[in-house]
Amino acid sequence: MCASQHPVQDLDEVVHQRARLGILAVLAEADRADFNYFKETLQLTDGNLARHLSVLEQAGFIQISKVFEGKRTRTWVSATKSGKAAFAAELKSLEALLKRLK
């Protein structure tokens, strides 16, 4: 084994969790997405999704906005610049891990 740091050390615990990684992956494909889209796509409950969005928002990785459409509130989520960078860094770490295992 070499003495250099193992690639898993670079994985971000905020990003690496499956649902949060999924949220950022969706946002890498689109400028924004609404709450229901995430819920359906990632197969999460309202409460579970809300908790993961809260963690990402507290980390500064996403921005949440609520708008009224008729009499209903619609929740939109978009990635921040730091969220996009964190997702890119996570992918780079995963690629380094895969390269090491080949």
The sheet with strand 72-79 has its strands ordered as 32-34, 72-79, 62-69
The domain segmentation of the chain, as residue ranges, is 7-95
Tell me what pLDDT residue 2 has.
52
Beta carbons of 37 and 43 less than 8 angstroms apart: no
Q: What pTM value is reported for the model?
A: 0.89
How far is 28 from 39, CA to CA, in rounded Å?
17
For residue 81, is pLDDT > 50? yes
Tell me what pLDDT residue 9 has.
85
For 7-52, write each residue's pLDDT tens digit. 888 888 899 899 999 999 999 999 999 999 999 999 999 999 999 9
Q: Is 5 in a helix, a strand, or coil?
A: coil
Percent of the chain past pLDDT 70, that is, above it, reads: 96
Query: What would the two tokens of residue 101 be?
Result: 């295992």
How far is 87 from 11, CA to CA, in rounded Å?
10
Question: According to CATH, what is the number of the domain 7-95?
Answer: 1.10.10.10
